[in-house]
Structures are given as C-alpha cells and as structure tokens.
C-alpha cells in the first residue's frame, strides 16, 4: 500500500502584515463613525416612511375624488341634481 501526500495549499506561514492590523478597529470601526452611520440610516428610514405615507394619502384622495364623481354621475342618471 502506497500513500501519496496531497498538500492543502498552505505552504507559507501567516503574513507579517496580519499581525500589524488591529482587527477590532477594522471590524467595528470608530465609535463616532458608527454613531454617525446609525443616525444617517435612521434619517433615511424616516424619510422613506414619510414618502410612503405621502403616497398613501395621495392615493386615498384620488379614490375619494373618483367615488364622489361616480356618485354624482349616478345621481344625475336618476334625475336627482347634486352640486
């Protein structure tokens, strides 16, 4: 029985640079920076919600106008006058 060695591709040891980089700062960032990002995201989220609400209001108004117009048409057909 003969066994053949198959390397896993890790012929070099870890890089020297990796020891010089502070992983905590790279992953989390500065606290001031993250607070600003959170505030910015919150403002964007609120703006999106406000925009959606405005769209809903416009749609409701349009539906109400259509309903009123339809009611007027029906009443005119029946011979009742509505101003």
Residue 64 is assigned to a structural domain of this protein: yes
Residue 12 is assigned to a structural domain of this protein: no
Residue 1 is assigned to a structural domain of this protein: no
Domain residues for 73? 28-78
pLDDT of residue 44: 94
Q: What is the pLDDT of residues 12-67, one digit of tens each?
A: 555 555 556 666 666 666 566 678 888 899 999 999 999 999 999 999 999 999 99
Report residue 65 as tokens: 């106008």
Q: Is 0.75 surpassed by the pTM of this model?
A: no
Residue 22 is assigned to a structural domain of this protein: no
Residue 66 is assigned to a structural domain of this protein: yes
**Distance from C-alpha of 49 to C-alpha of 32, rounded to nearest angstrom:** 26
Residue 18 is assigned to a structural domain of this protein: no
Number of domains in the chain: 1
Residue 68 is assigned to a structural domain of this protein: yes
């Amino acid at each position: 029985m003969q066994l053949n060695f198959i390397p896993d591709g890790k012929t070099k040891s870890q890089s020297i640079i990796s020891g010089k980089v502070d992983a905590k700062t790279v992953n989390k960032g500065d606290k001031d920076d993250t607070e600003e990002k959170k505030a910015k995201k919150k403002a964007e989220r609120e703006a999106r919600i406000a925009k959606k609400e405005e769209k809903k209001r416009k749609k409701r108004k349009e539906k109400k106008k259509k309903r009123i117009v339809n009611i007027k048409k029906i009443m005119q057909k029946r011979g009742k006058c509505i101003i």
